[in-house]
Structure 1
Amino acid sequence: MLEVKNIDVFYGNIQALKDVSVTVNEGEIVSLIGANGAGKSTLLKTLSGLLKPKSGSIEFLGSSIAGKAAQGIVKTGISHVPEGRRVFANLTVEENLELGAFLRKDKKGIAEDMQKVFETFPRLLERRKQLSGTLSGGEQQMLAMGRAIMAKPKLLLLDEPSMGLAPLMVKTIFQVIKDINAEGTTILLVEQNAHMALSIANRGYVIETGRVVLSGSAEELHSSEEIRKAYLGGH
């Protein structure tokens, strides 16, 4: 579904990604793990058109999207839930969700998907008329994910969905990621919590200082001594 080949990405003169190649197949959950500043978020931003690769290719469903404008990429079927949630604080929950569907014209489908988001996140239904800035961190994360779902993505890019959330909320969010995937959405997940990320993924990539240093099935990465020491706290 997604084929990233040998991309280099720079912030000014600083190279953030070096010769990175990543593949995501339809229906998978693929996790990117690595330390802070390794380049994981940079990769997601490049895929969603917020950054442009200097070289290399990015193909989504057989068409090149490298360097395409962000809204054009959303139209192809990629939605990005950025790190830090980025909900529109001065709009209500409902208005945020409507914005997620701004490129769609199918009124009936939009209403059905809104209903589905409220079924997935009952808390958002209770707060639908509330300003998003007044929600808790966990509720804002639900809203950010709900807003992305409203775009009806084929591929969902999730950047640090568990960051700053209470353990119980982390469990809820990860269950929802599994459910969204089971309903047919492919997921590329960046997650600090490597243990959780690998527990729901099919495959994973380890990124260190802008390079992919390891890849394999979630089981392989989970049982790798190197990964255990570096990212799983030695368990």
Structure 2
Amino acid sequence: MLNVQNLHVYYGAIHALKGLNFHLEQGEIVTLIGANGAGKSTTLNALSGLLAAREGKLEFEGEDITRTPAQDIVRRGVIQVPEGRKIFATLTVMENLEVGAYLHPDKAQIEKDIESVFKRFPRLKERRNQLGGTLSGGEQQMLAIARGLMSHPKLLLLDEPSMGLAPILVEQIFEIIRDINDQGTSILLVEQNAQMALSIADRAYVLETGQVVLEGDAQEILHNPMVMEAYLGGH
């Protein structure tokens, strides 16, 4: 479904991704793990068309999207839920969801989608007329994911969904991610909480300074001594 070949991305003079290679099959959850600055968010931003590739190739469903503008990548069904949630603080929950549906002008379909989002996130239904900025961190994360789902993603790019959340909420968010995947959406997950990410992923890639240093089945990576030492606190 997704094929990344020899991807090089720069921030000014900084060489952030140095020949990155990885792939994702339809229906998988693939996670990218690594320390801060390893290039995980940069990878998602390059896939979203928010950062230009200096070199390399990005393919989605067999088509080259390396030079495709961000809005057209969204139209193809690649949707990012960004780090830090980036919800619209001065819009209500409902308005945030409607913004997520801007690709689908069919009013009846939007209403259906909002109903299905509310079924998955009952808390958002209770808060539907509240401003996004007044929600708790966990509710904002739910809203960010729900807004992403309003665009009918084929591939959902999740950037640090558990950041800043209490452990009980982290478990809830990961259950939701697994459920979204069970409903047929492929997921590329970037996550500091390597333990949680590896527990729900099919496969994983470990990034260091813009390169893949390890890849494989998520369970194997979870029990790899190097990974345990570096990312799981030696447990």
TM-score by length of structure 1 reads 0.99
Aligned residue pairs total 235
CA shift at 1:111, angstroms? 1.4
Give 2:74's aligned residue. Answer: 74
1:43 counterpart = 2:43: yes
1:209 counterpart = 2:227: no
SS at match of 1:175: helix
RMSD of Structure 2 on Structure 1 (CA): 0.6
Give 1:18's aligned residue. Answer: 18
CA shift at 1:13, angstroms? 1.1
SS at match of 1:36: coil
Tell me how far apart the structure 2 counterparts of residues 13 and 67 of structure 1 sit (CA, whole Å): 21
Deviation per CA, 1:19-74: give whole Å up to 9, x if none.
00110000000000000111000000000010010010000011111121111100
Moved over 3 A (4+): none
- Answer whether contact 1:51 1:67 (CA < 8 A) is retained: no
Residue identity opposite 1:52 in structure 2: A
- Answer whether contact 1:159 1:189 (CA < 8 A) is retained: yes
CA shift at 1:8, angstroms? 0.2
Q: Which runs of 5+ in 1 are unaligned?
A: none
- Answer whether contact 1:28 1:202 (CA < 8 A) is retained: yes
Give 2:133's aligned residue. Answer: 133
1:98 counterpart = 2:98: yes
CA shift at 1:110, angstroms? 1.8
CA shift at 1:81, angstroms? 0.4
Give 1:144's aligned residue. Answer: 144
Deviation per CA, 1:175-221: give whole Å up to 9, x if none.
00000000000000000000000000000000001111110000110
Tell me how far apart the structure 1 counterparts of residues 139 and 70 of structure 2 sit (CA, whole Å): 26
